[in-house]
Structure formats: C-alpha cells, structure tokens
Amino acid sequence: MRHKRQSNPRQTTLLCPQCRSANIVFEAAYITGQVYRCQSCGYVGSFIIEIDTPKPGEPLPDDDAPA
C-alpha cells in the first residue's frame, strides 16, 4: 500500500524545554543524533518540544501544562 504524500504539511514550532522560548537553533546531527541550542537560556540537548503552529486567525489552544 502506498502512502499519500501530504499536500499541506503541518507547520511546527520548536520550543526550549527549560524556558519555553522559540529561539532555538539546530546545532548538529552526527552519531549522537540531533542537537539543539536555545539562544535565550543556553540549553543544549536533543530533547525539544515541538508544537503545531496555529494558522492565522485560528484560536490558540488552552495551555493546561505547568510552566
């Protein structure tokens, strides 16, 4: 069975797991995997939060997660 290619891929935003900043840069990807760096707090690691970016005019989801 062939998978259909999505014509409109979802847009995502990367967030720092420590300070929740979106100021994330891709650092490297070698044997260890992907590594990101937060330019706001200095976090360096492979764990990163990825959220769906709402479309313009779409309401933001409620944030029930603790800060």
DSSP state of 19: T
For residues 13 and 11, what is the distance between their CA atoms, to the nearest angstrom? 7
Tokens representing 67?
Answer: 């800060």
Burial class (CB in 10 A: 0-12, 13-18, 19+), 38: buried
What pLDDT is recorded for position 15? 93
Per the confidence metrics, is the pTM higher than 0.85?
A: no
H/E segment holding residue 30? strand 24-30
What pLDDT is recorded for position 4? 55
User: What confidence tens digit (pLDDT) does each residue in 5-64 have?
Assistant: 555 567 888 999 999 999 999 988 777 688 999 999 999 999 999 988 777 776 656 655
Alpha helices in 1-67 (DSSP H): none
